[in-house]
Structure 1
Amino acid sequence: MKRPSKYARILLNLLVAVAVSLVVNFSYLLLLLIDQRNDAPAAPAAEQRIDERSGEGVLRLSPDGHGYLLVESGDSVYVPMQRVRRLGLRDGDRLVGEISAPERAGAHAVMEKVWRRNGEEFDYAALFKRPAESVVLTLQLIYYLLISFILLSILTPVRYNYSRRRFVVHCVWGIAVAAGLYFLAPVTVWHSGKLIFNFMAPRMLDYVLLLKCSFAVVVSILYSRIYVSIWQQQAVAMENERLKNENLTTRYNMLVGQINPHFFFNSLNSLSMLVREKLDEKALTYIDQLSYTFRYIIQNGQNTWVTLGEELDFVEAYGYLFKIRYADKFFFDIDVPAECRAWLLPALSLQPLVGNAVKHNAITKSNPLRIAIRTAGDWLEVSNPKTPRLEPEPSTGIGLENLRNRVRLIAGRDIQVVETGTTFTVRVPLQKPASCSGQ
C-alpha cells in the first residue's frame, strides 16, 4: 500500500472540484440547452407577442426628453425619459412594444418594453453589449471550479497527525477564503446585462450566489473529512506494516546472532584439539573449512531464503569439521533429487540440526553417527539415531527453538519434530519455486 502522492491528491481534488462546479451550474446549463433546442426559425417575435398588452405607434419627444407614443386610436402612451436615453430612441421612431395599463384614472399608459423599432427586431443584447450565454456559463463553471479546488486544497493536507482541532482551524480558513472569493464572483447586472464582479454590483448580497457558494463550501468540507479519514486509516495501516517488518527483521537478526557464538565456541574447541595433537595439516584444512562456514553464515545471516543446494553445500563443509574430529565415526546420508536442489528453505536451517545431533549423541566406532537428509513432498527431513551419551550435556533448547522461530517468521509454517525410541527427526518446510518440477 502506498501513500497518495502530492500529484494524485491534486488530481483528485481537481476532479471533485469539476463535479461540484457542474452540480452548482446544472440548472443554468440545463436552461441553456433548452433555449438552444427551442431556438428554431419562427414567426417574427413581435408578431408572436402582439396581444392586448401590446401597442404600436410613432414616438414623439418633448423638449425635456420625455416621450409619448401616438397610437392609431389617438391615445398617447408615456415613454419614460430614462428609457428613451437608455434605448437610444429618436423622435419619429415607429415602435411596437409592451404597454402597461394606467395605474389610475386620467393617467397615461406606460411603454414597458420595446419589441420592434422601425420594423426591425429590437436587439437588447447588442444595445447593452450583453455577453453570450455560453460565455456566462463558462465563467460560472470556472469560478466554482476554482473556489472548490482552493477549498479542497486547504482542507485536504497530507498529514498523519491531522487532529480535529487542526481540521476545524482549516475549515475556518476555508470559510474565510470562500467569503473573500464571494466578492470576486462574476455576476450579471439585471437591467443592463453587463458582466461584472460581485463587489462592483449595486447589491452585493445575492441570495442565489450565496446559496451556490455555501453549497460548494459544505461539499468541500464533507469531502475533505471523508478523504482525511480514509487517508489516516491507510497511514495507520502502513505504519503498522512498517513496524511489523522492523520487528520481524529485529527478531530475525537476534536469532541469527544467537547462532554465531554457539557455533564459534564449538569450532574453537575442535581447532584447539587439533593444535594440541600437533596435526598441522588437518588444522590448516580445518581452518579453511571453518573460514568457509563462517563466510556462509555471515553472507546468509541477513537473508531469509536460500536454495536447498546451497544449504547442502554448506552442510558438507560444516560436516567436514566434525569428520576431522570424529574420524570414521561421522557420516551423512543425503538423498535429495538434483531437480529439487532449487527448492527454497530458511537460511541456516541445517546447521543447528547437525550441531544438536553431534551434541546429544555418543559417537563411537561401534556406534557411528549417521545423519540422514532427504526430501518428502514439500518437507526436508533430517534424522539421526538416538544414542545418548553416558554423561549427557545439558540442553538449553536454544538451537531448535531458534530454528522454530526463524521458520515461523520467514515461511509462516512450523517445523515438525518426530521422536521415537530409536530416532530423532526434524522436518523443515520447503518452498517449491515455479521452475522446479515436482517429485
Structure 2
Amino acid sequence: MLKLNTRHSTLIANVLAAIVLTLIVNFSYIISMIVDERERDRGRDRETFRQEQEERERYRPRFLGTLHISKDGYGYLVAEDGLILPSEEVQQEMLERERERRREDGEQMEPQAENEDRWQSWRTDSVFVNQQTIFIFNLQDGDQILGLLNRPRGQANPSLDRPLERNGEEIAPVIYDRPNRNEEFVVQLLFYFCLSLIALTIMTFRFDAKNFTVRRYTLRCIIALLVISSFYFFTPVVDWGRHSAEITMIMRLDHDHWLDWMTVYKYLVVIIVTLLYGRIYGMLLHQQKIQVENEHLRTENLQTRYNMLLGQISPHFFFNSLNSLSMLVREQNEDKALAYIDQLSYTFRYIIQNGQNTLSTLEEEIEFARAYGELFKVRYADKLFFDIEINPELNAWTLPALTLQPLIGNAVKHNTITRKLPLHVSIRTEGTMLVVSNRKAPKIETEPSTGIGLGNLRNRWMLITGQTFEIVDTEKEFTILLPLQKPANS
C-alpha cells in the first residue's frame, strides 16, 4: 500500500500525478505532432498535387470584377459582364467527357442536352466573397479581382473560391508567421504541469487522517476550484493576428475570444481529476490510519499477554527457590546456603534483565540453564546431572527468553531423583533444533500441577515466534524439540 505519512512521498505522488494529468489534457497536441511528423515522412509529391489542381481548374469559370467590402466584413465582386468561361477547346473536352460518362452509365445523351447553355446558372453581375478569403488574401475595398468560382446553390449567386489575380498581378495567400509547434507544445506542457501540481498540492497539503473530514475536504475543493479558475486567463494560446501569430495569454485577446472551448475542456479535466485525487488521497489516509491503529492495538495486546505470562514465571520460580533456601538453612549448611544464594542472585538478575525481552540468544539461555541447574544441584548433590552439547555455530540463534527454566523445573519436579536412580537432563542441538530430554521416573507421590509450565511456554512461543514446539512423550523418555530462530542480521 502507498505510504502517505511523509511530505516527500506525498510530493512525489503529486508530481507523478501532475505529469500524467498534463499528458492527458495535452493529448491533442501530441497527436497533432505525430500526424505532422508522419506527413513529413510521407514525402507527398507537391508537384503532382499542383498539376492535378490546375487540371481541375481548367474546367471552372472565372470572374473579373471590383471588390466591395461591407461593414460586416463580407464582400462582393461586381461587374456587368465579368464571367469568363473556359475556352471553346476546354468546353468541347468537357462535352466529350460527359458523353463518355453517360456511355459508361448506359445512357444516351439527348441532342438538346449538347446544345443547352450549361453556363446559364453561372451568369451573374456579382459574386459573393466571404470574410475568410478577404482576411487570408488581405483583399482591400476597390481591388480588381480575378478568381475561380464555386458552383452556385439554388437561386443564390456564385461565390468566389480562390482569387488568382489582384489588380492584374498574381496573388498568393498571406504567409503567417506562426510559432514553432514544438515551442507551443513545451509551453502548454509547462503551464498545465504547474497548474496540475498546484491544484493537487492544495488537495493534499498538510492533510492527514486526523483532520480529514467532509467539511475540510469540501473547503479544499472550493479553494482548488477558485485557484484553477483564476489560472484560466493566464492560459497560453496562439493569437492569430492580422498576418502573424504568437503565443500569448487568453486575457490579452479580444473579449470575443476569451471563451476558448478547447481550453475549457482541458480545465474541466483538470478539475475532475483533482477532486477525485483529493478524495482518493483522503481514503488512503483513513485506511492507513485504521491499519496503524489496529497494529498498535495488536502490539499492545501481545505485550500485555506476554507480560501476564511472564509474571506467572517469576512468582512460581521465586517460591520454589525460597523453599530450597529454607531447607538449607534448616540443615545449617552455611557453605551450601551461601553458594545457593550466589546462584540464586545470578538467576534472578537474568530474569529481571530479560523480563522485558521477548527473545534471547541460545548462548545466553544455555548460560542461564547452567546457573539454574546449579540451584538444583545444591539440593540433589551427585543425583542430578546436566549434559549440555551445543553447536557453537548456533550460539547467535534465538529463542523466547526463559524457555529452559520451566523445562528444567518440570524435569526435577515430576521425576524421582536418588543416588541409585539419578536424573540426567540432556540439552543438545540437532540441526537447527534445540532438544531437551530426560528419562521418566515418576514420583510415587506426584506433586500437584499448576498448569503453568508447558502451557505457559507454548503460549509464549506462539505469541513471539508464531510457531510451536514438538513434544515426544514415551514411557521411558520425555523430549521437547524447540525450533531455533535464525538471527535477523545474518
TM-score, normalising length: structure 2: 0.67
Q: Are residues 215 and 434 of structure 1, via their aligned partners in 2, closer, same or farther at CA, if it must alter by over 3 Å? A: closer
Deviation at residue 227 of structure 1 after TM alignment: 4.6
Per the alignment, residue 385 of structure 1 pairs with 440
Instruction: Out of 201-210 and 83-92, give the one that drifted further.
Output: 83-92
Per the alignment, residue 3 of structure 1 pairs with 3
- Equivalence map 1:187-202=2 (5 Å): 187-192=237-242, 193-200=245-252, 201-202=254-255
- Equivalence map 1:406-425=2 (5 Å): 406-420=460-474, 423-425=477-479
Deviation at residue 406 of structure 1 after TM alignment: 1.1
- Equivalence map 1:395-410=2 (5 Å): 395-410=449-464
- Equivalence map 1:274-293=2 (5 Å): 274-293=328-347
Per the alignment, residue 209 of structure 2 pairs with 160
1:317 to 349, 371, 378: 371
SS at structure 1 position matched to 2:234: coil
Contact (CA 8 Å) 1:77, 1:111: kept in 2 or not?
no
1:142 to 172, 179, 190: 190
Partner amino acid, structure 2, of 1:146: C
Deviation at residue 92 of structure 1 after TM alignment: 12
Once residues 2 and 214 of structure 1 are traced to their aligned partners in structure 2, the CA distance between those partners, rounded to angstroms, is: 27
Partner amino acid, structure 1, of 2:230: G
| Structure 2, unaligned runs of 5 or more | 69-74, 84-124
Per the alignment, residue 355 of structure 1 pairs with 409
Instruction: Out of 34-43 and 327-336, give the one that drifted further.
Output: 34-43
Contact (CA 8 Å) 1:98, 1:115: kept in 2 or not?
no
Q: How many residue pairs end up in the alignment?
A: 428
Partner amino acid, structure 2, of 1:222: L
Once residues 224 and 154 of structure 1 are traced to their aligned partners in structure 2, the CA distance between those partners, rounded to angstroms, is: 9
SS at structure 2 position matched to 1:283: helix
Per the alignment, residue 297 of structure 2 pairs with 243
Once residues 358 and 92 of structure 1 are traced to their aligned partners in structure 2, the CA distance between those partners, rounded to angstroms, is: 126
Contact (CA 8 Å) 1:59, 1:90: kept in 2 or not?
yes
Once residues 280 and 263 of structure 1 are traced to their aligned partners in structure 2, the CA distance between those partners, rounded to angstroms, is: 22
Q: Are residues 37 and 425 of structure 1, via their aligned partners in 2, closer, same or farther at CA, if it must alter by over 3 Å? A: closer
Per the alignment, residue 15 of structure 1 pairs with 16
Q: Are residues 314 and 379 of structure 1, via their aligned partners in 2, closer, same or farther at CA, if it must alter by over 3 Å? A: closer
Q: Are residues 140 and 343 of structure 1, via their aligned partners in 2, closer, same or farther at CA, if it must alter by over 3 Å? A: closer
Q: Are residues 397 and 116 of structure 1, via their aligned partners in 2, closer, same or farther at CA, if it must alter by over 3 Å? A: farther
Q: Are residues 38 and 336 of structure 1, via their aligned partners in 2, closer, same or farther at CA, if it must alter by over 3 Å? A: closer
Instruction: Out of 217-226 and 116-125, give the one that drifted further.
Output: 116-125
Instruction: Out of 298-307 and 205-214, give the one that drifted further.
Output: 298-307
1:333 to 387, 390, 413: 387
SS at structure 2 position matched to 1:160: coil
SS at structure 2 position matched to 1:183: helix
| Structure 1, unaligned runs of 5 or more | 61-66
SS at structure 2 position matched to 1:180: helix
SS at structure 1 position matched to 2:237: strand
SS at structure 1 position matched to 2:438: strand
Deviation at residue 407 of structure 1 after TM alignment: 1.0
Once residues 138 and 417 of structure 2 are traced to their aligned partners in structure 1, the CA distance between those partners, rounded to angstroms, is: 123
Per the alignment, residue 199 of structure 2 pairs with 151
CA RMSD of aligned residues (A): 4.9
Deviation at residue 17 of structure 1 after TM alignment: 1.9
Q: Are residues 145 and 414 of structure 1, via their aligned partners in 2, closer, same or farther at CA, if it must alter by over 3 Å? A: same
Once residues 111 and 37 of structure 1 are traced to their aligned partners in structure 2, the CA distance between those partners, rounded to angstroms, is: 29
Per the alignment, residue 125 of structure 1 pairs with 176
Partner amino acid, structure 1, of 2:225: I
- Equivalence map 1:47-196=2 (5 Å): 123-126=174-177, 131-156=179-204, 158-161=207-210, 162-164=212-214, 166-192=216-242, 193-196=245-248
TM-score, normalising length: structure 1: 0.74
Partner amino acid, structure 1, of 2:250: N
Partner amino acid, structure 1, of 2:12: L
Once residues 148 and 369 of structure 1 are traced to their aligned partners in structure 2, the CA distance between those partners, rounded to angstroms, is: 79
Contact (CA 8 Å) 1:94, 1:119: kept in 2 or not?
no
Partner amino acid, structure 2, of 1:136: E
Per the alignment, residue 64 of structure 1 pairs with none
Once residues 389 and 186 of structure 1 are traced to their aligned partners in structure 2, the CA distance between those partners, rounded to angstroms, is: 99
Once residues 294 and 61 of structure 2 are traced to their aligned partners in structure 1, the CA distance between those partners, rounded to angstroms, is: 78
- Equivalence map 1:293-308=2 (5 Å): 293-308=347-362
Q: Could you tell me the percent identity over the aligned residues? A: 44
Contact (CA 8 Å) 1:372, 1:383: kept in 2 or not?
yes
